[in-house]
Structure 1
Amino acid sequence: PRKRGPKELTGMVDLTRDSTGKTRARLLDLVPGRSGKAYATWLSARGDAFREQVKVAALDPFAGYKTAIDDKLQDATAVLDAFHVVKLGTVAVDEVRRRVQQDTLGHRGRKGDPLYGIQTILRAGAENLTDKQWARLTAAIEANPAHDEVFVAWQCAQQLRSAYHQKDLAEGRQIAEKVVESFHTCP
C-alpha cells in the first residue's frame, strides 16, 4: 500500500517479477482512505483465489496494513517496502547527526556548523556524490573525532541502500543479511 497525495488514497501495486527477474510495477487499484480497514476490505473483495496467490506483501510501516495482512493473507510474508527501509536508514543517520551536533556544540545545527552543512549530502547515495560533495563530507567528518559516529551511521545506511540496487537478487540478499547481522554490534 502507498499513500498518494492529499486525498489520502491507498494504492495497491503488484510488484511481481517477470521471467527475467525484473520487477514490473503494476497499479492494481486505488482506494479512498489510509487505514487497515480500507486495505482489509479491498483484500476481502478480491476473493480467496486472489489472496491465496499472494506470497509476499510489501507495505509501509503502518500497523493497520500489517494487521490487514495478518488477517486476510495468513500465508503471505509481510515485508517493509524498499523505499521505507531506506528512508528509515536515512532517518537514523539524521538522528545521529543531530545528536552528535548537540553533544559537540551544545546547540542545534546552524549555518557554518560542519555537520549542519552536510545534512543534504548525508541523504544522498554515495554513487551520486560529486567530488566537491565528497570533499565537504570528508572535511566535516574530520573536523571532530566525534563526527566519526555520523560517518559510521552513513556508511551503514549506504550498505542498506546498496542491497536494493543489486542486479542479482542473491547479492542483494547477502548484503541485507550482513547489515541485519551487524545490528547487535553497532554502537
Structure 2
Amino acid sequence: MSKQDNLEINFSLKGNASIQIGIYLLIAAYCIKNILDGFLIDDNVFGMSSSKLMEVLVVIITFFTFLLSGFALYFKGKRKAKKLEYQLWNAKTKKLFWFMFFSFLGIFILLLLLFNLGFIDILTPTFLLLYGLLIFLNKNKKRKDLLILTGVCLLLGIITILIPSYWYSSLFILGIAHITYGVTIK
C-alpha cells in the first residue's frame, strides 16, 4: 500500500485542533457574556444598543465559533497529511467531512431556530447535548479517550437544563476541557 492510499481519517481532535477549539469556545462565551451583561448596564456601550443588534452579534459570534472550529480541524488534518505524505481527501476523510459539516450546520440552524422562537434557556443545553452526541458518534475503537469529553458535554448539558444561568460556566468548562484534552492527547 503506498503512502497515497492511506485509509485513516485525517481530521481529529488531538493536540492543537482541540486546543484551538477550546480557545474559540472560551472567547465566544466571554464575548457573549460581556455583550449580554453590557446590554443590562446603562453606562455600557451595549446598553444603548437595540436588542436586535445584540441578537445579531450573538449569532455572528456563534457562527464564527463554528467556522473557526471547522478550520482548526481542517488545518490540523492538512498538516498531518502533509507531514505523513498522505492524501488529505481520502474516502473516510470525505465521509467524515460531510458528516461534520452537516452536523455543525444542523446544530447551528437548530440553535438559530430555538433562538428565534424564544427558547433562550435551552440553547446551551441543546448545544452541549448535541455536541456531546457528535463527539460520541465520531469516536472510533482506538479513540476511547473521547468518551471523557463526551461525558463532560452531557453532564454540563444536563446541569444547564436544571440551572439555565449556568450556561457561561458550562461553556467555559467545555473550553477548558478541550484545551486540557488537546494538551494531554497529542
TM bucket by the smaller chain? 0.3 to 0.5
Report which of the two structures shows the higher radius of gyration computed on alpha carbons. Answer: 1
TM-score by length of 1: 0.34
Would you tell me which structure has more helix in proportion to its own residues?
2
